[in-house]
Structure 1
Amino acid sequence: MYFSIYFKATKMKLFFLCIVLLISFKSIAQNTHANGAQKKAQQKIVDDYVHNCAKNYSFYQMNELQECLDEGLRKDPTIAYLWQQKAMPLFKMKKYEAGMVFCDKAVENDPYKWLSYRAYIKCVFAKTYREAIIDFEKCKEMIGNSYEMDHTYNFYIALSYLQLNEFSTAEAIFETDIAEQIEQQGEAHHLNLFYYGITLYEQNKWEQAIEEFDKAISQYENFSDAKVYKAFCLGRIGQEKRANDLLLEAKTDAKNGYTINEDNMIHEVYPYKVKW
């Protein structure tokens, strides 16, 4: 009798469990279908109002460009990419506060995709370094020390501290980031090495700075900016002849276009780029 009741109860539990699972699977399938349909609809809006409209105008036709994007946002204001596209030309025209209004909306709608972009803009374009650090630290909390525009989040955090004259903090972060890059990739990016050298240069650590500039130059042999700061260090330790020769070499390299070679150099001057 007991086993019969227990068996029936067990069958009843299994029956209800199957019903719950069936409902759950159906709900998941419906949500997946809905999400797929939404993504398809949003992609059509992007195609219509970005690729087939906004992309037809330059930054010097800002009203027409922005109107294309506004039309798309009227159809779906949750598409983060449209907000980013409204912000980007304003940043490139150095209208940082105006652009940040739209960039904030992009982050609001898709923080995982656009928070690191906003942090990059704050560091390289707007030069609001403490805000950049806050954003990059949030990015690290979400997904770890990932990349934005070919560099790690820690690279930009260290660069921000360098620009805030917090040289020892920047030095420590660059040192750690370089060690991680070497462990993962076999070598560090030449710009990491250059700016690490700059943090040492700013603290009068001339010989150590020269070592880092040499490492950067070994990767990018015509790196004029690294040669200039190495020459300054050589002069500080009494090697004027080597310093002067290296400055002449650096000037030739710079004349031939060999300098900091980041994608957005056309829009913004990177820190410590030498002006000839």
Structure 2
Amino acid sequence: MSCSTSGQETNKISESSLTDDEITKRYLEKGAWTLRYFSPEYQSYLDSAIHENPNIAYYYQQKAMPYFKLGKYEVGLKILEKAVELDPKSYIDYKAFIQCIFQKNYQNALESFITAKKIKGVNGYVMDHSYDFYIGLCYLQLNEFEKAVKYFEASISEMLKSNSESWVHHLDLLYAGIAFQELNNHEMAIKYFDRALKKYPNFSDVKYYKSISLFRLGLLEVADELLNSCELDFKRGFTINEDNAIYEKYPYQIKQFYIDMLRLTKR
């Protein structure tokens, strides 16, 4: 197995006797993919593939991916930039997703999603969610709540236009409700929370935020009852169920002490 640094000189294609398929089979299928993502040998196999052909964007994405899962965002993004440079159409939205959910650099993620819309179209999707969903999430995290509402509603409306209510994702509804709650519009927030609970009845995070709105509206008894239900579901693991939630906490995802504090303050 030959090794190189992570393709620091990647503009020159080595005179490999292997085809791209043969490189992938040797160094990924029979190499890196048989190992733990986090092992040094995994990285060595990817370096070898890059050494054989430094112009395959996918190799850089595969090399970068374990670093994101380890929280080494700057290291991973430096490598991923090469994949974006080589094949922007395939990797610009993946980069934006990493910046938003993993790195939590919301301003840069916004810029990347705007670029993704220009390259791939305004109604693009990445990791099962629309670009508008992520843009709304970025604005929510930047405390620009009216803009967040605009993009969450756009994401939901587009799904309703092309499919039906059953296709609307419960996270779009959760975050739209939270954005309205941040704007002190608790009636509208509850409408979105109720729609989310129809899709995911045990969703503890939705029950928590709905409880806040109920407390704010003075419906103390109903709010207390819902908060008790929230805690039971939370302890049973009914929370945000995205694949990448095992690596990263999602915005506004609840913890036990959130529940404890809300029960104490009721506001």
Q: Please confirm whether the aligned pair reaches a TM-score higher than 0.5, indicating the same fold.
A: yes
Deviation at 1:180, TM superposition (A): 1.1
Which SS does the other structure have where 2:55 is aligned?
A: coil
Aligned equivalent of 2:65: 88
1:19-76 Cα offsets, whole Å, 9 max, x none, are xxxxxxxxxxxxxxxxxxxxx9212211211121111221442x21111001111110
Q: In the alignment, which residue of structure 2 is the partner of 1:212?
A: 192
Q: CA deviation at 1:173?
A: 1.1
* 1:55 lines up with 2:33 in the alignment: yes
* Other-structure match for 2:253: 273
Question: 1:173 is aligned with what amino acid?
Answer: Y
Provide the rounded CA distance (Å) in 2 between the counterparts of 1:194 and 1:43.
43
Q: Partners of 1:90 and 1:48 in 2: how far apart?
A: 22
Tell me, in whole angstroms, the C-alpha distance in 1 between the residues paired with 2:243 and 2:25.
Answer: 25
State the partner residue of 2:23.
45
Aligned to 2:41: 64
Give the drift of 1:146.
1.1
Determine the C-alpha separation between the residues in 2 that align with 1:178 and 1:224. 21
Between the aligned partners of 1:73 and 1:141, the Cα distance in structure 2 is 29
Conserved 8 A contact 2:205-2:254: yes
SS of the aligned residue for 2:19 comes to helix
* 1:25 corresponding residue in structure 2: none
Does residue 168 (structure 1) correspond to residue 146 (structure 2)? The answer is: yes
Name 1:250's counterpart in structure 2.
230
1:114: which partner in 2? Answer: 91
User: What SS is found at the alignment partner of 1:197?
Assistant: helix
TM-score by length of 1: 0.84
Q: Output aligned runs, 1:1-276, within 5 Å.
A: 41-61=19-39, 63-144=40-121, 145-187=123-165, 188-276=168-256
**Matched residue type, 1:257:** G
Q: Return the alpha-carbon distance in structure 1 between the equivalents of residues 20 and 173 of structure 2.
A: 42
CA distance in 2, matches of 1:199, 1:219: 19
2-structure distance, mates of 1:176, 1:114: 23
- How far, CA to CA, are the matches of 2:19 and 2:142 in structure 1? 45
Distance 2:182 2:145 in 1: 7
TM-superposition CA deviations, 1:217-264 (whole Å, max 9, x none)? 011111110011000100001011100100110111111111111010
Over the matched positions of the two proteins, sequence identity in percent amounts to 45
Alpha-carbon RMSD across the aligned residues, in angstroms, is 1.3
Q: How many Å separate the matches in 2 of 1:59 and 1:47?
A: 17
- How many residues matched? 237
> 1:178: how far off?
0.9
Match of 2:240, SS? Answer: coil
Task: State the one-letter code of the partner of 2:87.
Answer: D
- Corresponding letter in the other structure for 2:114: E
Is the Cα–Cα contact under 8 Å of residues 38 and 66 in structure 2 kept in the other structure?
no
